[in-house]
Each structure stands twice: as structure tokens, then as C-alpha cells.
Amino acid sequence: MPISIVVSANTNPEPLLVINEHKLENQSSEPLAASSHYQYLLASSNKHFLWFDKTGLTLSGLSLHRLLADLGWHNLINVNVLKYSQYEQHDRVLTNGFVQLLHLSAIHYRQQIDVKSELLNAIVEDASDELLLSLIPAYDQISLLRTAISEYRYLARYQWPMLDDNFKPRLGQSHNQVKGIRQILTMLGDLPSKAQTKSRLDVYDSVVVAALKKFQGRHGLEADGKLGPKTYAALKVKPQMRVKQLQVNLWRWFSLPKVPPEKYLLVNIPGYQLSVIEDGDETVKMRVIVGDVDNQTPQMVTEINRVTLNPTWTPTQNIIKNELIPEYRQDFLSLKRKNFQLVKGYWKNVETREIDDPDLNLSKLLQSYRLVQAPGANNALGYYRFNIPNNYSVYLHDTPVKSLFRQSNRALSHGCIRLEDASLLAKYLLKADKSLHLDKMHSAIESGKTTNLPLKTPLPVYITYQTAWINEQGNLRLSPDIYHLDQKNAALAQFHATDSNSVITLSQNNF
């Protein structure tokens, strides 16, 4: 299970939210097109309701109801208490949700389908379950996140302790604030329930410190066991807010290809992690550095089609203007020491000029020259560059500065993705590609010359943005929302996003 839910005996649950007539009457009005879809489907199928019978929701209706609730289309309600007079309203909500899923699926995968006919055929042929299942991409994370959503919904029934983030406990101290901290850590499964004895309920001991470290690690924080501002902020996030965050992240999987290839590379931007997935198993894993807030790494689906050994680096205009020219003005030999040259022309007609004069007008020279860093140990791209076709001038590459991978916050680049162990990925790609040999890679690296190795079989690449995911051990991991995308309509597949709080967003049942 992703999280371990333990509720102490002295915690009083709040009642489950039950839908009522007032709630139904005040739901957001549906789009006109969706309303006409519902009337058409109802009339054409010759049914009184599409997802209800006299006893309540049908099995197909229940599957649709649960999926749409997990995606945030509507609040999860106790359908068993719905009155017969309320069936039509929820029947419309479910139908409109199904229609929007079909629309968005067609947009994502560039399909030309008649949504009304597709859904009508499924309803008439009693195949709506199969159609709904076909809209759900085949990733284990989808079912795992849905389980986590269910678990946090359960936690949302309980009153979340109030914490004072100015409170700084001493080891061994007894205090009422410690009671709340221990309660939260126990409910989330970070503090063993057996440690919650009557005599220790308000004691800040080594067990609490260990639990805090576990909690911090799961939330992408420095696991120092200290109650700093970031740790307090994470502890104070109520389960209702986590549900919304999980829903946003669940949606992001719906924007990826429905059926994953046998092998693909996955980069999780806020998780600072690269994985190669092979037949569902993680075969390569490493830390990465991604773009900072001002130079965000974009989400995309692409592929690695070429490995460049001993690459040159041609910095962007922004880097030249904001960093390299000011650096040259402070120390005119700094760029030469880093093996930068002014380059004009291509192939056999290349003309180079050294940057060793304090009076060069670089801005003017760069109107006819390019600023290029030669291959070498201090090249910004290291010894490996991995080409991924895209419109953002983004690629994966090595780096000479390995110490940065020890930092917890690794949103540090200008948008490209730096790899902790680029040679490991290069070896994996070349070993998998029958047309290339590792010996060729080693000899090319030693030569110091720039060498391009096209891949006969490109490796699919998914660059994603997941602030919540389930790791291989089955534990829910959360990371800081570094680009603040959880509070925006970041995933194209989301129905509609509205700001619900300063951290994350809630998907509503209007489009």
C-alpha cells in the first residue's frame, strides 16, 4: 500500500460528506453541448437513465462514478443515499464526464471520432466498461495513485491537528504540540503505532525524530529530523489538499501514450529523477538537474535518437548576454581558459578566433561569429550529449560539476537535463543498439574528437511533471511543486482547474 493509515483511538472522525438536494441544485451548470449529448444518448438508447436502474448505480455506472471522482470531476458521494428524484442530475454529471474523457482522448491522440456515436454504441451494446477502460492509459502509477487518493479520502474524515510552526521542541520534552506532531506522523504511517503508548503521546523523543526523517524523505525535503519551516508546512497540509494534489498528478498520466513501449526513459522534473523502464521494471536510475524557475524544463514525449561524444557547446543568446559577456568583461581571459572560441563557417570552411584580447567587442563580433566551447573536461556538456528532437532546444547531457547532485533542490539549469551518470546511460543505449559497440564509444572519448553516434532504434522519452508518485517499495513520495504547476491547469487533459489554495488546485465539474 502506498501509505499506512493508522488512526489513534482518541481522534474523532468527522462525518462523511453526503450529497443532498441542495448540493445537487448548486452544481456548476453543464455546457450546452454536453447537455445536448445527454439528451441525444438518452433518447437514442431508449433508456430512462444511462447509469442507474431502479436499485441505484449499475456496475458500469459505479466504475465511471469512481474514476471521475478520482479525477476530480465530481465529489465522491455516497450514492446509496441518493433519492430516485436525484438520479437524473448525477446521471447527467457522469455522462458529461464520459463525453469529456472521449473528447480529450481524441485531442491527445489526434483521433477523428464521433464522440456521441462512440458512446451510444457502447451503451447499446453494453460495452461501456470496455470503452471506459480503453481511455485509461496502461501505467501502474494510475491504479496506485487512485489507491492513494482513496486512502487520503479516508484520512480526510478526521480532524487534522493544528500546529504552531514557532514551536521548537527539545529532545525529551513533553508538550501538547508534540501530541499533534506524533498524531500526524502516526496517521501517515511514519511513526509506528506501537510507539504511541499513553506515557509517550506528548513526548518528543528519538522515535519522533526518526519518524520526521522518514516523513521528510518522502516529501523531498532534507531528512535532518528538524522541525524547520518546510517540514512544518508539509505536516500542516490536510488530507483534503493532498487528495486534490493526487488528482492533478493522476491526470498527468492521461496525457502520455496510452500503451507504454517495452522500453522507455522517464524523467520526473520535480522529482529530479531519471529512470529507464523495461517491461515495467526500472533498469537504470539516476538523479538529474533540471531547469530553474526562470528556465523551466518543458514536459514532452520524444526520443533519444543520437549520442554525441565529446560534444561542443554553443550557449544560447540569453546565457551569452547575461553570463558570459559580463564574465569576459571582469576577466578577459576567463572564456579562453574555458576553451571558448569565436567560430565562423562550417565543416572545412571553419574560421576561428581566440578570445584573448581585453578590448574585443564581443556583442558586435557575435553578429558574424558563434561562441563555441571546445570539447574537454570543463565543457558544460561534459563528455556526452543525448539528442531529443523538440522545439525548445532542450537535451540531456553530462556535466563536469558533479557536486550539485548532492543538493536536495536541483532546479539549477537553463532548461536542459544534466545527468548524474551520463556514461551509464550511454553504455545502456549502445549496448541495446546492435549497430554500435562500446569499444567505439571508449576510443572516441579518448580521442577527444566530437563523434556522433546515431541510434538505429531510438529510445522513447517521457519528460513528465509528477509531484506525487508511488515508488518501487509501494510508498507515496511527494516533491515540492518547483514550477507551481499544481495550482494551474498544467495538464492539458484536466477538465478545468480553479485555484483552491496556495499550494494545489481542485478540478471541478465544469469545462
Extents of the domains making up the chain: 21-139, 256-311+378-470, 317-373
Give the residue-averaged pLDDT of 424-429.
95
Task: Measure the CA–CA gap between 290 and 482, rounded to whole angstroms.
Answer: 10
Please report which confidence band the pLDDT of residue 35 belongs to, taking 50, 70 and 90 as the band edges: low
- Burial class of residue 485 (count of CB atoms within 10 Å of its CB; 0-12, 13-18, 19+): buried
Superfamily of domain 256-311+378-470: L,D-transpeptidase catalytic domain-like (2.40.440.10)
Percent of the chain with pLDDT over 70: 88
What is the C-alpha separation between 334 and 345, in angstroms, rounded? 24
The DSSP 8-state label assigned to residue 13 in this structure reads: B
149 pLDDT more than 90? yes
For the segment 375-400, what is each residue's pLDDT rounded down to a tens digit?
Answer: 998 999 999 999 999 999 999 999 99
pLDDT class of 33 with cuts at 50, 70, 90: low
Residue 301 bridge partners (DSSP): 462
Grid coordinates representing 200 are 509517550
Q: Where are the alpha helices (DSSP H) in 448-486?
A: none
Is the separation of the CB atoms in 378 and 339 below 8 Å? yes
DSSP E strands, 5-119:
52-53, 56-57
Whose CA is closest to 425, among 310, 288, 284? 284
The count of other CB atoms within 10 Å of the CB of residue 176 is: 11
- Phi, psi (rounded to 5 degrees) for 398: -75, 175
Residues in the chain: 511
The answer for residues whose C-beta is within 8 angstroms of residue 23's C-beta and 6 or more apart is none
16 pLDDT band, cuts 50/70/90, is: very low
Distance CA 55, CA 81 (A): 11
Separation between Cα atoms, residue 361 and residue 365, nearest integer Å: 6
What mean pLDDT is predicted for residues 132-155?
96
pLDDT of residue 132: 97
* CB-count exposure of residue 88 (10 Å: 0-12, 13-18, 19+): middle
pTM: 0.84
The pLDDT of residue 491 is 36
Q: Is the pLDDT of residue 444 over 90?
A: no
Higher-scoring residue by pLDDT: 214, 17: 214
Mean pLDDT of 301-325: 94
Mean pLDDT (the chain) is: 86
For the chain, give the longest Cα–Cα distance.
87
- Is the CB of residue 501 less than 8 Å from the CB of residue 241? yes
Q: Which position has the grid cell 487520503?
A: 152
Query: Which sequence positions are flagged as catalytic?
Result: 397, 416
- Cβ burial of 456 (10 Å; 0-12, 13-18, 19+) is exposed
What per-residue confidence (pLDDT) applies to 10? 42
- Residue 2 pLDDT class (50, 70, 90 cuts): very low
